[in-house]
Chain A
Amino acid sequence: QQQVKQSPQSLIVQKGGISIINCAYENTAFDYFPWYQQFPGKGPALLIAIRPDVSEKKEGRFTISFNKSAKQFSLHIMDSQPGDSATYFCAASPHAGNNRKLIWGLGTSLAVNP
């Protein structure tokens, strides 16, 4: 059973548009929610992360919105650019001592058309 559910599986956006990717989780022990960007043949790179004590975090064109009661969080990419075309993963980490292993969604393949 997928502990972190991510949608959509793929997304096509025009240059300058807003890309929105959603994730949902069930485990209330999760307390750290990062988003990673991955290009083909490369390892994931951290984009932005949030903890449940805030409802929104913004870094440049990337914003995470977090809804603790609904157990959902989303990534918004403003002014999407062709260079943003990549696979995006949401993840969650339970608070379990020092092991912060990440539980991942299945990914969203984003294509930004020029």
Chain B
Amino acid sequence: DTGVSQDPRHKITKRGQNVTFRCDPISEHNRLYWYRQTLGQGPEFLTYFQNEAQLEKSRLLSDRFSAERPKGSFSTLEIQRTEQGDSAMYLCASSSGQEGTQYFGPGTRLTVL
């Protein structure tokens, strides 16, 4: 399967703990996006990478959130000192080319107790 993969699929953590999620994009895609989706809502943009450069961060991304894409391939999203409001599905998407059709992974469901 050459689609976007995310790990883990589910994460349950206690408030105040740190968590890290991984996204492996489609191999030839140079653009990578993170979105957050809460129940009953559409996804909300968090951040965007072109190759290894993080080019835009949403105001939704507080200083407890950090994302990296060190070699322009996989990406990680870390949340420090998790809060109950961080509970959501975290989605990763990748794209390439001018049209930029985004292909999504299955998401990581985070539950903060």
Contact = CB atoms under 8 A, between A and B. Distances in A.
Interface of A: 6, 32, 34, 36, 41-46, 49, 89, 91, 93, 98-107
Interface stretch (B38-46, B70-78, B80-88): B38-46
A100 B95 contact: yes
Nearest to B95: A100
Contacts of B105: 43
B43 A44 contact: yes
Nearest to A9: B40
Contacts of B33: 101-102
B104 interface: yes
Contact of B45 (A46, A98, A103): A103
A41 B91 CA distance: 11
B109 to A, nearest CB: 8
B103 A91 contact: no
B21 interface: no
Given A105-B42, A106-B41, A107-B41, A100 B104 contact: no
Nearest to A105: B42
A101 B48 contact: yes
Interface of B: 4, 6, 31, 33, 35, 40-45, 48, 50, 55-56, 91, 93, 95, 99-107, 109
Contacts of B40: 106-107
28 contacts: A36-B104, A41-B109, A42-B107, A43-B6, A43-B93, A43-B104, A44-B104, A45-B104, A46-B101, A46-B103, A89-B42, A93-B100, A98-B31, A98-B55, A99-B48, A100-B31, A100-B100, A101-B33, A101-B48, A101-B56, A102-B33, A102-B102, A103-B45, A104-B42, A104-B44, A105-B42, A106-B42, A107-B40
B29 to A, nearest CB: 12
A89 B100 CA distance: 17
A91 B42 contact: yes
